[in-house]
Amino acid sequence: MELFIIIIFFLFGLVFGSFFNVVGYRLPKEESIVNPPSHCPSCNKRLTPLELIPVLSYLIQRGKCRNCKTKIGLFYPIFELITGILFAITYIMFGLNVDLFISLIFVSSLIIIFISDYQTMIIPDEIIIFAILAKVIYALVSSDISLIGILLNGLIAASLMLLLKKFGDKAFKRESMGGGDIKLLFVFGMYLGFELAIITIFLSSFIALPYSLYILNKNKEHVVPYGPFLAIAALLLYLSKVDFMSIVTMLS
């Protein structure tokens, strides 16, 4: 029975992953996420239900549009698969309870933010606001979480990120990070606590270093989005259920 539920969450994740690809691409461009329906960006042919099956349609069509034969980016099926895996892991870590619902919202928000910032260099305010409101509502109906506490955690994390931005702007004599990254740290503070939110800054920098060096070596003018690496770091800490005191104990 447990394996069956895990598979169900994985399949749900595949479907939502397909939707998140659309949201992450269209929201920053201020386009509707429902209209026009999914279509080939090259020939504008509307996709049929058989062409919208997550991952499977890509494999059957050998990564090409059935109509114009234009190659479909591998990015799309990869994120459908990643979302399926993350949904399954979220269920395994939190079980069937209210925590699972709020956790899926956080995980989904990070996936959309990754897609959006990677493709367009924009972290949509709509996703930030949605994640904040979800946590606020959760705090209001839960007796285990203090609304003031989570807002304070968010404020501390965002304030530190703002200070780092100011320092980075002066050190590099150009904008070192966007305002979306600061807003994202507010969300991290609410969901992870300000201590772990701060750790995501350092962990994401470590994760981003090899990729950044590779990209900048090819093109020094290229701007590397920071949001995806923050999202990866937050997912690692959140889904592993690491707490700040365990890190302190490990380092002491």
Domain boundaries, the chain: 1-96, 97-252
For 197-252, how does the pLDDT look when each residue is reduced to its tens digit (9 = 90+)?
Answer: 999 999 999 998 888 787 767 766 667 788 999 999 999 999 998 776 677 676 66
Instruction: Name the pLDDT band for 161 (thresholds 50, 70, 90).
Output: very high
User: Tokens standing for 107?
Assistant: 């995980």
For 166-188, how does the pLDDT look when each residue is reduced to its tens digit (9 = 90+)?
Answer: 887 777 677 767 788 999 999 99
Instruction: Name the pLDDT band for 38 (thresholds 50, 70, 90).
Output: confident
Q: Are 187 and 109 in contact (CB under 8 A)?
A: yes
Please state the pTM of the whole predicted model: 0.91
Beta partners for 71?
64
**Mean per-residue pLDDT, 121-136:** 96
Dihedral sign from CA coordinates of 126, 133, 176, 165 = positive
Q: Phi and psi at residue 41, in whole multiples of 5°?
A: -70, -15
- Residue 154 predicted with pLDDT over 80: yes
| Closest by CA position to 212, among listed 200, 201, 225, 203 | 225
For 62-71, how does the pLDDT look when each residue is reduced to its tens digit (9 = 90+)?
Answer: 778 777 877 8
